[in-house]
Amino acid sequence: MAKPLTDQEKRKQISIRGIVGVENVAELKKGFNRHLHFTLVKDRNIANPRDYYFALAHTVRDHLVGRWIRTQQFYYETDPKLGLDMEELEEMEEDAGLGNGGLGRLAACFLDSMATLGLAAYGYGIRYEYGIFNQKIRDGWQVEEADDWLRHGNPWEKARPEYMLPVHFYGRVEETREGSKWVNTQVVLAMPYDTPIPGYMNNTVNTMRLWSARAPNDFNLKDFNVGDYIQAVLDRNLAENISRVLYPNDNFFEGKELRLKQEYFVVAATLQDVIRRFKTTKKHGSGRTSFESFPEKVAIQLNDTHPAMAIPELMRIFVDIEKLDWDTAWDLTRRTFAYTNHTVLPEALERWPVELLETLLPRHLQIIYQINQAHLDRIAAFFPNDVNKLRKMSLIEEDGCKRVNMAHLCIVGSHAVNGVAEIHSNIIKTQVFKDFSELEPKKFQNKTNGITPRRWLLLCNPGLAELIAEVIGEDYVKDLSQLQKLVDFVDDAAFICDVSKVKQDNKVKFAQYLEKEYRVKINPSSMFDVHVKRIHEYKRQVLNCLHIITMYNRIRKNPTAPFVPRTVIIGGKAAPGYHMAKMIIKLITSVADVVNNDPVVGNKLKVIFLENYRVSLAEKVIPATDLSEQISTAGTEASGTGNMKFMLNGALTIGTMDGANVEMAEEAGEENLFIFGMRVEDVAQIDKNGYDAMVYYQNIPELKQVMDQITSGFFSPKNPDLFKDLTNMLFKHDRFKVFADFEAYIKCQEKVSQLYQNPKEWTKMVIKNIAATGKFSSDRTITEYATEVWGVEPTDLKIPPPNEPREAIEETARALKKL
């Protein structure tokens, strides 16, 4: 007999029914039994956990397919066991690590919101065979292993070979009477794989289409004909390498030919797909397509500069293939594209060598030159004789190796440009792209990032989701602003107690996970102080590490003094070629070895480096966190979304006035966050005066002690010079000014410990923070993109389910048109 469901399991069932659209879980059970039986008949007699996972995944996908087809029709019409352990099955699912850091995760949140808001949206990308690497920590060092996430297959995707498309590379340009022709190219085929993206409680299922590279059957057939069969097969592999592996760099530009191939591959296949879909509805009687309404029917958002080649590619299609005149094509192109900038770090901005473009995409380079010439003519008309202005605003950088500035191409080729938090958008307007903003101020906007509450509350923290629903109802799941109602419960003793209990339950569960995975016994009553994100100098994991050593020194100096117990959890991946980031990981793990094995410290302080931080691990650690570390140097983090996830899940934030932290402080009140350190203007002043790390070192005794320990080999006795590169950076060329914020950070952490000793007041502040997270829903972000950039309106109309007749969808479509 199946055991009764817990409240959290009931909430998970409600969430599954909302997304899948199944009114009765019995429907799922029937399908599950059928799929499991098929697997066993086909392969073997005894089921293993992966069989259960695939059977469940295929069952859910079956239920989505009808709604998936019905959703696409709607867009067209408008122009074997009970009592399965769900958590065990969830563990079977591989993370689809197809993005770097927060950018890929943000895209996933946006897809969820677009489906939930009823927008006819498509997500496009590359189906990488190997995603972001798996991180192993060996002897304290990061070691990378291939992320073979497809080794067991992917039950959620559907191959669509009927929509396979050619993508061209290399070749040369011929000038003919009919115009420019790109000839003698090498062809790679793009095979689409579709994944359903279900909205919440609205029967909408949108599509994510990922492209996989395939060599055509006649690839290098001439080599085969002369007997070089092996080389022909190897050349096929070269073509298919385009979708083999994700480049693991985050906030760093690596100008490799394969990376440029990947960027062009995805945009070339996608634009062909978009135009095919547009043409199916826009044919004239003559058989020719009018593109006059293209920007009214198609909006393309460039998620950073990686898809920037879409701009010259669409121009090539319009001018070379569809035979539109240049000015018409350019007008349509600019009205179609919008560009989101995600970083201000100069090393992250893409600048492709002209020489590489000339070889790989010769026609596109010609088009970029023509776009640039018209752009510079316009600048010269506004600023005659200002050569410096032309140089700064050109798409082509002439210093040293000639390069194409892809951010400039995106700005010139788009009708809207946005940053992803108020402070970031102001920086790109007043500093990074100042000349462009002054020329076209209305083009520049802000769209503060957001997160989907479906994954980052309902799914990962069902206990808190259920508790909130009990006091304010369930509508907040689709309208997060309703969390403001929680303000009425800030002083409610019962609610305070319940919020505290949910957090403690999550901490106990995560402590058990840590003990199992890391063999470190954790005190669940200690403060869980968490810093998880990509490892980078600007994110300042080093500053956190210096605080850990400071706490360690204080305990050692006075072991009997009162101390608020802490478990410091740091996690994140370093780009494989990023030496300094790897040294930061080694420092953290070395400090952890000393702290965790010192009997004087005992259970007062524990340090854990979370191996292989990823989405599925984030879903475990975020609900268990007490203190969220968001401590980047002011003016360097564009937005951040981890900060929002922690806030929504009942963690308090210690952070600088950077990225979305600024707006979090505005929403919750600065007094309800632990804000410290330099502001953007302070950083600018230090840059102006010159940053001298030695001044801080010589004047702050605890900082001097910590740095002396690191440099003397206290944490690396077998190799005292191990951290020489790291300490040399901190003393001589630290762009992110760790020492300048050290003292303020330590004092702020003391305030954190003081408040944590008063659980009631701590939890009241937690409730105030949760109540203030409404702004940070990706539903709000996407609504702003839709109405202010794409020119479309979200709808709450519910698409009829597949079991209703086709006439029902036509009726809903008519209702939408009336709106």
CB-based burial label for 82 (10 Å; 0-12, 13-18, 19+): exposed
Please give the helix or strand (H or E) that residue 707 lies within, else none: helix 701-712
d(CA 796, CA 747): 48
CA–CA distance from 617 to each of 6, 90, 518, 644, 736 (Å)?
A: 23, 12, 14, 17, 28
Q: Find the catalytic residue in 39, 636, 641, 781.
A: 641
Pairing assessment for the beta strands 134-138 and 141-145 based on DSSP bridges: antiparallel
Distance between CA atoms of residues 669 and 674, nearest Å: 11
747 counts as catalytic: no
Query: Is residue 429 annotated as a catalytic residue, yes or no?
Result: no
306 closest CA partner among 246, 362, 241, 396:
246
In whole angstroms, give the CA distance from residue 318 to residue 174: 17
534, 566, 573, 764: the catalytic one is 534
How far apart CA 236 and CA 500 sit, in angstroms, is 58
Strand order in the sheet with 351-353: 351-353, 403-405, 396-397
Q: Tell the residue number behind the tokens 């019409």, with chain if given.
A: 77
Q: How many CA atoms lie within 13 A of 512 on its CB side?
A: 5
Q: Fill in the DSSP letter of residue 62.
A: H
Q: For 102, phi and psi rounded to 5 degrees?
A: -80, -20
How far are the Cα atoms of 503, 511, 528 from residue 524, in angstroms, in the given order?
10, 6, 8
The answer to whether residue 342 is catalytic is yes
Question: Contact, 533 vs 539, CB < 8 A?
Answer: yes
Q: State the amino acid at position 668 in one-letter form.
A: A
Read off φ and ψ for residue 755, nearest 5 degrees: -70, -35
Out of 429, 539, 547, 573, the active site residue is 539
Chain-centroid distance of CA 678 in Å reads: 27
Determine which helix (DSSP H) or strand (DSSP E) holds 63, and give its type and residue range. helix 49-77
**Do residues 311 and 410 lie in contact, with contact meaning Cβ atoms separated by under 8 Å?**
yes
User: Among residues 109, 111, 112, 784, which one has the least CA distance to residue 419?
Assistant: 784
Q: Are 626 and 603 in contact (CB under 8 A)?
A: no
Give strand ranges (E) for 518-648: 527-532, 566-571, 605-610, 627-630
CA 606, distance to chain mean position in Å, is 29
Comparing CA positions, the residue from 361, 323, 337 lying closest to residue 274 is 337
Closest by CA to 1, choosing from 86, 114, 82, 111, is 82
Write the CB contacts of 671 (distance below 8 Å, at least 6 apart in sequence): none
Residues 6 or more apart whose CB falls under 8 angstroms from that of 68 comprise 196, 205, 207
| Of the candidates 314, 296, 271, the residue with the CA atom closest to the CA atom of residue 409 | 314
Q: From 266, 409, 263, select the one nearest 334 (Cα to Cα).
A: 409
Residue whose tokens read 């420092």: 587
Whether the CB-CB separation of 106 and 641 falls below 8 Å is answered with yes
- Mapping DSSP to helix (H, G, I), strand (E, B) and coil, where does residue 196 land? strand
Q: How far apart are the first and last CA of the chain?
A: 51
3 is a catalytic site residue:
no
Bridge partner residues of 175 (DSSP): 180
Q: Which of 533, 536, 768, 775 is catalytic?
A: 533
What separation in angstroms does the CA of 436 have from each of 444, 501, 761, 798?
9, 52, 48, 42
Cα–Cα dist 814/801, whole Å = 17
Among residues 540, 604, 645, 775, the one annotated as catalytic is 645
Torsion sign (Cα): 509, 512, 517, 520: positive
CB 425 within 8 A of CB 445: yes
| Residue among 105, 306, 334, 342 flagged as catalytic | 342
Report the catalytic residues.
Answer: 342, 533-534, 539, 641, 645
